[in-house]
Amino acid sequence: MQLQLIGEVFNVTNRKNTLVGSANQNLFRATYTQSTGKYTFTKFATFGLANSYAATPDPRQFQVAAKIIF
């Protein structure tokens, strides 16, 4: 009979998971002006840059397990 102990740690450095928020998901934004009947396109310099953090999972997670072999 044997006992195996297993321990795992995820995100040991406790760093937050960054992500690209909704403000940085568009490279261009089109604005329609009804009086002129034209579209104006605006380009964003922050496109694709991480500007938010994932709040759902805890940044650091531990897991401990025991396995009995017989």
**Structural contact between residues 27 and 47, judged by C-beta atoms closer than 8 angstroms:** yes
Nearest partner of 4 among 70, 51, 68, judged by Cα: 68
Expressed as residue numbers, the domain containing 28 is 2-69
User: Could you read off the pLDDT of 1-37 as tens digits, one per residue?
Assistant: 999 999 999 888 888 778 888 878 888 989 999 999 9
Matching residue, tokens 């650091």:
60
pTM, entire model = 0.41
Give how many domains the chain has, as a whole number.
Answer: 1
Helix (H), strand (E), coil (C) string for the chain: CEEEEEEEEECCCCCCCEECCHHHCCCEEEEEECCCCEEEEEECCCCCCCCEECCCCCCCEEEEEEEEEC
